[in-house]
Structure 1
């Protein structure tokens, strides 16, 4: 059996604001932005630049129940881990672009890591593994 994780859904408030954050602040690629008339929604996919295959589906909340999870995808824990090959480069670029880091860089046995939040407050690790 050969399996891989293709997409992870992140619930967002607004497609265009989310696209702007992920492409302009984090430098991700916009892979797809297709209107789906049968469901009256958009299929919006972004992914980090590089050889990785996992992408993020930016899923606009469509109910009050979904809206309450915007910015709290994992109950206050770090939800996603963005691996980099150059921590200093990406940390500096993200800081210059206004990405808000809630925990400063630290060196740990597994690598260098800092925690940032997306435009709605969902927590991410920026990590360079050793």
Structure 2
């Protein structure tokens, strides 16, 4: 039996603002934006070339959900964007204004750098060591 992690929900404050950030700043593809009625939408984005796992952008609909925006992992790196060309993607993201929290570093497992998305969520951009 094969199982796949297909969606990870990311709570955001506004669908259109989130779509613009993930597609323009991070270079993700918008895979789906379906109106669900009542102000809800089913919005899926993913890194270009990704085959299985997508982010589901979910607009907060309560105070409790709004309180989680940008801190869904308690300040830890919670998302890992793996690339086949670290320096290409790093320089492209710098040019698009993505906020990096450190300088890139070479670790035994990867070339890696931590960046913050529009909401403050921490991500690793990494290219594994071959």
Q: Give TM class, smaller chain.
A: over 0.9
Task: Report 1:1-130 matches (<5 A).
Answer: 1-37=1-37, 39-130=38-129
TM-score normalised by length of structure 2 = 0.96
Q: State the distance in 2 between where 1:43 and 1:36 align.
A: 7
Structure 2 gaps, min length 5: none
Task: Tell me how far apart the structure 1 counterparts of residues 113 and 43 of structure 2 sit (CA, whole Å).
Answer: 27
State the aligned residue count.
Answer: 129
Structure-1 separation of matches of 2:102 and 2:13: 24
**Aligned alpha-carbon RMSD (Å):** 0.9
Distance in 2 of aligned mates of 1:51 and 1:116: 20
Check 1:109–1:117 CA distance in 2 against 1; reply closer, same or farther (3 A cut).
Answer: same
Partner deviation per Cα, 1:22-48 (whole Å, 9 max, x = no partner): 0001111100001101x5301110010
Q: TM-score, normalised by structure 1?
A: 0.96
How much does 1:51 deviate? Answer: 4.0
Runs of 4+ residues deviating >2 angstroms: none
